[in-house]
A and B are shown apart, each in its own frame.
Chain A
């Protein structure tokens, strides 16, 4: 059963200073409407492309959005900044209205675009729980019945009768989140509240979302955190420039998004002609490749090397460095490759559960068997290792250059 159905949704925004020319535009609009004509400023021509400078003062933030959400589904909405995710969320939350199209909803909606909306600094924690709860749509009796639970969840029992302006920012957020966590809507809309707060808070936040989803309620979740989307969501939508670029299961959507972003990467290179290949009079590179092209941290990563040996040595030494985004060398490795028919080739395998997620480049060194340098090249390949799935509640970046899976002896 569908609980949300979005049909041909459009949203237009005005660019630049809103006050300039509004009166004349309003009049023009009004005259057009009076004669039953189309709104002169609502023509569907300009894409949601903020980087392009267009003459028009109006931009379509959303264009022709159609999707459905089933009961009990956890829908993740992903996309780059400016793709229209927040606009869609605002319309779903009724903070602003669409320009065209409609959204059909079945059930009570609560949206969390922010935690602690309407908190008043002068009021005590207790008073703010009631105020914030009521703003989020709870009645007084609902809040009363959950009051003790909210207070103990927040962990600020001692300060509940102190004005919240005296709270530390951590206490403030915990109290605010505690109220939000005890909403019991049929449909919950969550913006990237996970981006704020420490690991502890994120853990609580996501744990609560999992609970909500587990109770058969519907969740719409907008995030940049692909790991969180893959781990929590069942369905996904990818937005690109105000349109739905892909929709499917959460895994498929994230995968599609990663692949479409991977165009900037260069996981493998192959050269047909030795004369045009990088190298010098001693060696020329035929190919270097990462397999799979878009590995997970849990995958074994194979690196294939092959190069033309133009020297009289029957074997050559190959070494490489893996370099991360901070230009730090994660590790270096090397070996001697035998030459066959003038070509040296070999494969090297990085074990699974060793690398951290991130993008990396590879620097290649080719040397004689007695390690005199012949040729070296930076950034011969550029690849990304992705953290796809976690089954614990923290979805932030794990620190460190590497992320080995260690053997633990628990006593």
Chain B
């Protein structure tokens, strides 16, 4: 027997503990996360003429369609807020969430060829997606500001920001956490049960209608109002609009609920992701 005990820097085991998430290792790969962000951003707009301008065109067209369909035809009120600004604020924030969820939800399947050849902390991929969507969001915010100036100066729309608007980064953070959490749960489950990816596309569409994006929460009543209030995304969008237009009231409880919900989702998401990432190559 040798007296000197052998030391190991790493031990590969069949299964990890539920909570064995190596955050230090993830931090060591921070450069990779940033390079993924860059890759996603650069590669999408290469060989397009308009480039990142597409990021602006999308919400503009959606807003116009919503304006025509929901405001002009369906005549859904937008409280006393200018409809264009109402839709654009909602869409900007909603798009961030839905993009995060959509893009992270196929992490494993879309990256199978890389994951099958080299190891790095798999969480780097969905995290990079959430960050690259942040850049998109930033560009869309610039658009929002431009439209706000246009609408207030030329069309006399009201824009009355209050102090709660400073919480905007918190809303974004909560949405990022929720989008990431749900996304990695879906990506983990779709490695085995592909059906879920169809369900998700459909589900995100439904969720938008269950979130006050195209109507104010005050428009709903009774059971419907209760259901939509339980949607953790509702207080985020409502509070953002309150911050912009000082219309209605600030929902502090809803914000706490949304934050708690997102953290719980991320917690379970990371656990499930962590379980799946070790063996998904055998099933994907």
> Taking beta carbons and an 8 Å cutoff, which residues of A are in contact with B?
1-2, 5, 13-14, 18-19, 22-23, 26, 90-109, 111, 113-114, 117-118, 120, 122-123, 127, 130-131, 134-137, 139-140, 163
Q: Is the CB of B114 within 8 A of A105?
A: no
Contacts of B38 in A (CB 8 A): 127
* B8-38, CB < 8 A from A: 8-15, 28-29, 31-32, 34-36, 38
Give 6 new A-B contacts, CB below 8 A, not counting A94-B119, A105-B10, A109-B10.
Answer: A103-B12, A104-B6, A106-B7, A113-B118, A122-B42, A127-B42
Contacts of B115 in A (CB 8 A): 95
Contacts of B58 in A (CB 8 A): none
Give bound CA distance, A99 to B193, whole Å: 21
Contacts of B279 in A (CB 8 A): 96-97
Nearest-neighbour CB distance to chain B for A405, whole angstroms, equals 41
* B108-138, CB < 8 A from A: 114-120
Residues A104 and B194 in contact in the complex (CB < 8 Å), given A18-B283, A134-B32 = no
Q: Is the CB of B118 within 8 A of A111?
A: yes
Q: Is the CB of A93 within 8 A of B39?
A: no
The 5 tightest CB contacts between A and B, nearest first, are A94-B119, A134-B32, A97-B278, A140-B31, A103-B12
Q: Is the CB of B118 within 8 A of A93?
A: yes
Contacts of B32 in A (CB 8 A): 134-135
Nearest-neighbour CB distance to chain B for A26, whole angstroms, equals 8
Interface hub of B10, B42, B47 (most chain A Cβ within 10 A): B10
B interface size (C-beta, 8 A): 38
> Taking beta carbons and an 8 Å cutoff, which residues of B are in contact with A?
6-15, 28-29, 31-32, 34-36, 38-39, 42-43, 46-47, 114-120, 192-194, 278-279, 281-283
Q: Is the CB of A95 within 8 A of B12?
A: no
Interface hub of B28, B35, B47, B194 (most chain A Cβ within 10 A): B35
Q: Is the CB of B117 within 8 A of A117?
A: yes
Contacts of A114 in B (CB 8 A): 117-118
Give bound CA distance, A178 to B42, whole Å: 23
Q: Is the CB of A127 within 8 A of B6?
A: no
Residues A105 and B12 in contact in the complex (CB < 8 Å), given A122-B43, A123-B39, A137-B120 = yes
Q: Which residue of A lies closest to B4 (CB)?
A: A1
Contacts of A101 in B (CB 8 A): 14
Q: Is the CB of A106 within 8 A of B6?
A: yes
Contacts of A97 in B (CB 8 A): 12-15, 278-279
Q: Is the CB of A106 within 8 A of B118?
A: no
Interface hub of B8, B42, B278, B279 (most chain A Cβ within 10 A): B8
Give bound CA distance, A135 to B36, whole Å: 9
Q: Which residue of B lies closest to A94 (CB)?
A: B119
Give 14 A-B contacts (CB < 8 Å), ordered by A residue. A5-B6, A22-B193, A95-B116, A102-B12, A102-B14, A103-B11, A103-B12, A104-B6, A105-B9, A106-B8, A118-B118, A120-B39, A130-B35, A140-B31
One of A102, A105, A131, A163 near B46 (C-beta < 8 A):
A163
Contacts of B7 in A (CB 8 A): 106
